[in-house]
Amino acid sequence: MSTPQPMTARELFLHLHAHPELSGAEYATTALLTQQLQAAGIRVMDSGLPTGLIASLGDATAGPTVVLRADIDALPIQEHTGLDYASETDGVMHACGHDLHAAALYGAALELAEQARHARLPGRVLFVFQPAEETSHGAEAVIATGLLDGAAAIIGAHGNPDLRPGQFSMEPGPVMAGVDWFRVRLDGRGGHASEPQLCDDIVLAAAGMVTELQQVVARSVAPLSACVLSVTHMEFGDAWNVLPSTGYFEGTMRNYDDAVALGMRARLTSIVTGIAAAHGIRAAIEWVPGDTPWPATANDAALVARLTPALEQVLEHHPIPPATGGEDFAMYARVAPGAFAMLGANGSPDAPRWHNECYTVLPEALPGAVTFYRTCVQALLA
Ligand SMILES: [Zn+2]
Ligand SMILES: [Zn+2]
């Protein structure tokens, strides 16, 4: 009887792209990864995670533990790339390229397992295939398993449409923004649109709030502290002749510094409550992440300095500025020093961007991404 050969990283990438699964529902992805890793002789740990997995190679008594992390979830988007390996699931697409991340980490695991068959690894590698990055819940679930405790470093990466396959950027300091999510609910006296003098106008109040919130970035934050405030969604009433009694709007704030985030929260609160008072209505502000905003992803300078020379020998270093997107990789800073790289995924000037129905990661991006993960381990366990 012959042992089944594990899939290649490229086969896995093409399969995952065609079979995407939403955040927290990555059951088939988890099952396939588990099966293929085990076929390659890599141990899948008992993490208790419903989706996602942590695999292990080497021995913690032989040296430090290095954690490699890739996310595995897809988005509720109908794919329109026209690729011959496009999503076979209606309304779900790997539009952030997490299929690249999962396949690259899998490919690195195969190569490192092969290496460990010839010479004992001087330490241990944990491969984290993280669920639910897009909903910002996956990293916390992985951390809560306790399996990463005591790790010396954690490495992550994201494909980037601005970089060509084989290029990387991993600069010290902030690389992805901190994310805050606000929801403002307004309540007042509704009534007939023809009798505004007898009602409260929460729509007019909301319009004033949305306009005035633009002064948070323009007037309240220092010009060199980069940040964004966008109101993205409003729901008020459903009839042309009724002043509604209740409604809400929501949006997001992005920044690279916790102090800036808290300052933005305070200004938003004072603008909303002040305008609500002027209109005689009630306003309730909900911060979806809770008391603290989701932090920015910031790279540990010493770790970056240690990894960069090794990476420059095998990949082209092409530094790019921080992105305003968020990443729950930021949460891992609580566990170990972290470094998060941008890896070449496409590089053509008109390449569609993340979360677009035409976002395309070139399969040629895979070897560079595999090399990135493998080289980080070799540099840190040298
Ligand atoms: Zn995304
Ligand atoms: Zn992503």
Residue 341: per-residue pLDDT: 98
Of the ligands numbered here, which is closest to the C-alpha atom of 134? Answer: 1
Of the ligands numbered here, which is closest to the C-alpha atom of 97? Answer: 2
Amino acid residing at 251: G
Q: How far is the CA of 355 from the centre of ligand 1 (A)?
A: 6
Q: How far is the CA of 377 from the centre of ligand 2 (A)?
A: 22
Q: How many CB atoms lie within 10 A of CB 282?
A: 15
State how far the alpha carbon of 31 is from the alpha carbons of 8, 35, 210, 229, in Å.
16, 6, 46, 39
Tell me the two tokens of residue 86: 């496009």
Q: How far is the CA of 134 from the centre of ligand 1 (A)?
A: 5
Residue 2: per-residue pLDDT: 56
DSSP conformation letters of 96-108: S-HHHHHHHHHHH
Residue 111: per-residue pLDDT: 98
Q: How far is the CA of 293 from the centre of ligand 2 (A)?
A: 19
Domains and CATH numbers, the chain: 9-172+300-380 (3.40.630.10), 178-287 (3.30.70.360)
DSSP conformation letters of 239-290: -TTEE-SEEEEEEEEEES-HHHHHHHHHHHHHHHHHHHHHHT-EEEEEETT-
Q: How far is the CA of 242 from the centre of ligand 1 (A)?
A: 39
Residue 252: per-residue pLDDT: 96
Of the ligands numbered here, which is closest to the C-alpha atom of 102? Answer: 2
Of the ligands numbered here, which is closest to the C-alpha atom of 99? Answer: 2
List the one residue out of 90, 135, 107 whose CA is nearest residue 14. 107
**Phi, psi dihedrals of residue 204, rounded to the nearest 5°:** -65, -40
Residue 3: per-residue pLDDT: 62
Of the ligands numbered here, which is closest to the C-alpha atom of 98? Answer: 2
Q: How far is the CA of 190 from the centre of ligand 2 (A)?
A: 42
Q: How far is the CA of 297 from the centre of ligand 2 (A)?
A: 13
Residues (pLDDT < 70) of the chain are: 1-3
Q: How far is the CA of 225 from the centre of ligand 1 (A)?
A: 24
User: At 39, is the secondary structure helix, strand, or coil?
Assistant: helix
Q: How far is the CA of 96 from the centre of ligand 2 (A)?
A: 5
User: Could you report the per-residue pLDDT of 315-324, keeping only the tens digit for each?
Assistant: 999 999 999 8
Q: What is the pTM of this model?
A: 0.91
Tell me the two tokens of residue 342: 């941008």
Instruction: Name residues whose C-beta falls within 8 Å of residue 237's C-beta, 6 or more positions apart in sequence.
Output: 190, 203, 243, 244, 247
Residue 136: per-residue pLDDT: 86
Of the ligands numbered here, which is closest to the C-alpha atom of 71? Answer: 2
Of the ligands numbered here, which is closest to the C-alpha atom of 135? Answer: 1
Residue 257: per-residue pLDDT: 93
Residue 382: per-residue pLDDT: 84
Q: How far is the CA of 326 from the centre of ligand 1 (A)?
A: 8
Q: How far is the CA of 74 from the centre of ligand 2 (A)?
A: 9
The C-alpha atoms of residue 303 and residue 315 are separated, in whole angstroms, by 17
Residue 1: per-residue pLDDT: 52
Q: How far is the CA of 89 from the centre of ligand 1 (A)?
A: 18
β-sheet bridge partners, residue 169 = 342
Of the ligands numbered here, which is closest to the C-alpha atom of 159? Answer: 2
